[in-house]
Amino acid sequence: MFGFSRETARIARPDQPLIVDNFAGGGGVSLGIELAFGRCVDIAVNHDPDAIEMHRANHPHTRHAEASVWDIEIEAICEGRPIGLAWFSPDCTHHSQARGFKPVDKHIRGLAWIACKYAKIKRPWTIVLENVGEFKNWSPVIPYIKDGIIQHTSDGKIKYIPDPEKQGFTFKRFVARLRNLGYRVEWRILNSADYGAPTARRRFFLIAKADNQPIHWPEPTHGSPDTPEVRQGLLKPYRTAAECLDLSLPIRSIFERKTPLVPKTLRRLAIGTNKYLFQNPNPYVTTVDGTPVSTEHIVAANTLIAPFLLGAGGPTHSAKPVSCLRPIGTIMPENHRALAVIWLTKFYGTAIGSDVNKPMPTITAGAGGGHMGAVRALLTKYKDDIAEYCKSNDIPEDLLVTINGEKYVIYDIGLRMLTPKELAQAQFGWTDDGRSLASDYILTGTQGNQTAKIGNSVPPRIVAAIVKANCPYFLEQDNQDDQLPLAA
């Protein structure tokens, strides 16, 4: 479905409709649109200079507007041309349940109204809006009252919370407004893993069309390996977290740290090791350089690693562990994921891990990184000398693991945080012909900025699937190999 090279992406001719990427971020949406149509996004809008820097580095043929979406003169930036596709990914943090009961910013919650402004002024043929699933509960806000007193911020502004008695009221107004402007409107929750991304990021998508054509929802291309559709070859198996990890990177022992790991992290390590190694009849084991090996190779070697992911911080709410045969969950803007012994986990609350043979949990954005890390347990064959060593050093029998009838003892456990490049691979995935969409993607700024932009991005493959199904007019454009001028 998608075989694409950014080096060959083309700009539109002056007689073709525009593609506008609002809240463009680091460029996940723009990359997905290029993946679908083989042409560049024409205009990208974002108020954040860090986001514009990364977007411009990877999409140099796009015109960039570093400004609030509300400050853009829509007619002026379009220069008289129609808009074929307008994409909107407004800030989701003040809609997400991950925020808990914290006060919200009513202006940030209202950013989605910009789609109606575009609809009124330019009437894009297709509008797509992406957000968290809770977006459909968008409601008015009321002052936050505690102990009978209206609460204020440090600078004297009133704090607000969503009105619990009007859940979804504002969302219904938003949809009615688009329909009154002549748009057909539908929405769904989609899982990025179903379209070939190694992350099980579930997001809300709204499609509004004014081109007199029906709305099409793309059919999934991937599924869980244990489903009949995958076993029968109707769907491809989910891409996994293990495919995104660079196991050749150095890892520090958890026993050689000046600052000991916090008890919660140690507890997750212990629970995850028990679940994904000791209690796993067929643990995932690789060589030190990350190459998967057979059981025969495992028992013939002295050293193996068994990698898995665990949570090391993040929001207080918990998430269930997921099998290594599934995608990883949402990747956060804060980096709280560490690499450990062959299992993957969300990095928040009481989550203990998840299998690296499954897609990564959802990648999300925020300050500092992405709630993911990796751990490895180094195993050595339980021969007589090792048995004697265990006895002489009071190492209990319950530290032994049996693989194919052979006993091994854990002699070290390492832990490191996932790198922005690994998180980007989990978010971006691959083309259908096997090319990594993250391998040559330029990550600018600090590691925290890089992870935040990755976590805030939309996986390109699900973007490509949605726009390809609903904007056939871009597929009909002339694919001439003209030299691309760089945009101002």
**How far is 313 from 442, CA to CA, in rounded Å?**
27
CATH number of the domain that 60 lies in? 3.40.50.150
Judge if 260 and 398 occupy the same domain.
yes
The string of DSSP letters for 270-302 reads HHHHIIIIIS-SS---B-TTS-B--HHHHHH-S
Rounded to 5 degrees, what angle do the CA atoms 333, 336, 341 make?
A: 135
CA distance 82 to 71: 20
Question: Are residue 196 and residue 271 in the same domain, yes or no?
Answer: no
Q: Quote the pLDDT of residue 150.
A: 87
Domain edge (last residue) among 426, 441, 456 = 426
Q: Determine the Cα–Cα distance for residues 112 and 312; give it in Å rounded to an integer.
A: 33
Would the CA dihedral through 28, 33, 35, 41 be positive or negative?
negative
- What count of residues does the chain have? 488
Supply the pLDDT for residue 300: 32
Domain that holds residue 165: 6-223
CB atoms within 10 A of CB 25: 25
Same domain, 149 and 30: yes
Within 10 angstroms of residue 12's Cβ, the number of other Cβ atoms is 20
> 259 and 216, same structural domain?
no
> What's the pTM value of the predicted model, to 2 decimals?
0.83
Question: 356 CB contacts (<8 Å, ≥6 apart)?
Answer: 240, 241, 242, 245, 284, 307, 308, 309, 324, 342, 343, 344, 374
Predicted local distance difference test score (pLDDT) of residue 149: 87
**Parallel/antiparallel/unpaired status of strands 373-381 and 304-311:** antiparallel
- Whether residue 272 is contained in a domain is answered as yes
Domain closes at, from 398, 426, 454: 426
Identify the pLDDT of residue 268: 75
- Rounded CA separation 228/65 (Å): 47
**Residues 74 and 115 both lie in one domain:** yes
- Structural contact between residues 224 and 454, judged by C-beta atoms closer than 8 angstroms: no
Asked, for residue 484, whether it belongs to a domain, the answer is: no
pLDDT at 373: 66
Report if residue 238 sits inside a domain.
Answer: no
∠ CA 122-180-104, rounded to 5°: 85
By CB neighbour count within 10 A (0-12 exposed, 13-18 middle, 19+ buried), where does 443 fall?
buried
The pLDDT value recorded for residue 127 is: 98
SS3 45: strand
Residue 391 in contact with residue 353, Cβ under 8 Å? no
Q: Is residue 344 part of a domain?
A: yes
The CB density around residue 103, as the number of other CB atoms within 10 Å, is 17
Determine the Cα–Cα distance for residues 385 and 407; give it in Å rounded to an integer: 13
CA-angle at 404, arms to 401 and 410, nearest 5°: 20
For residue 438, tell me if it sits in a domain.
no
Do 198 and 278 reside in the same domain of the chain?
no
Low-confidence stretches of the chain (pLDDT < 50) are 1-5, 8, 99-101, 293-303, 315-325, 341-350, 366-370, 382, 478-488
- Residue 432 lies inside a defined structural domain of this protein: no
Q: Is residue 303 part of a domain?
A: yes
The answer on 419 and 283 residing in a single domain is: yes
Q: Which of 382, 403, 426 is the last residue of a domain?
A: 426
Q: Running DSSP on this structure, what letter comes out for residue 112?
A: G
Residue 467 belongs to some domain of the structure: no
Residue 295 sits in the same domain as residue 351: yes
CA–CA distance from 154 to each of 151, 159, 222 (Å)? 10, 10, 49
What is the C-alpha separation between 134 and 74, in angstroms, rounded?
A: 29
If asked whether residues 26 and 174 sit together in one domain, one would say yes
Question: Considering only CA atoms, which of 271, 304, 270 is closest in space to residue 287?
Answer: 304
Whether residue 268 contacts residue 310, with contact meaning beta carbons closer than 8 Å, is answered with yes
CB-neighbour burial class of residue 225 (10 A; exposed 0-12, middle 13-18, buried 19+): middle
State how far the Cα of 185 lies from the Cα of 41, in Å rounded to an integer: 23
What pLDDT shows up at residue 411?
67
* 365 shares a domain with 315: yes
Number of domains in the chain: 2
Q: What is the mean pLDDT of the chain?
A: 78
Report how far residue 84's alpha carbon sits from residue 123's, in angstroms, rounded to the nearest whole number: 9
Pair (274, 374) in one structural domain: yes
Token reading at 401: 């693991």
- 161 and 29 within one domain: yes
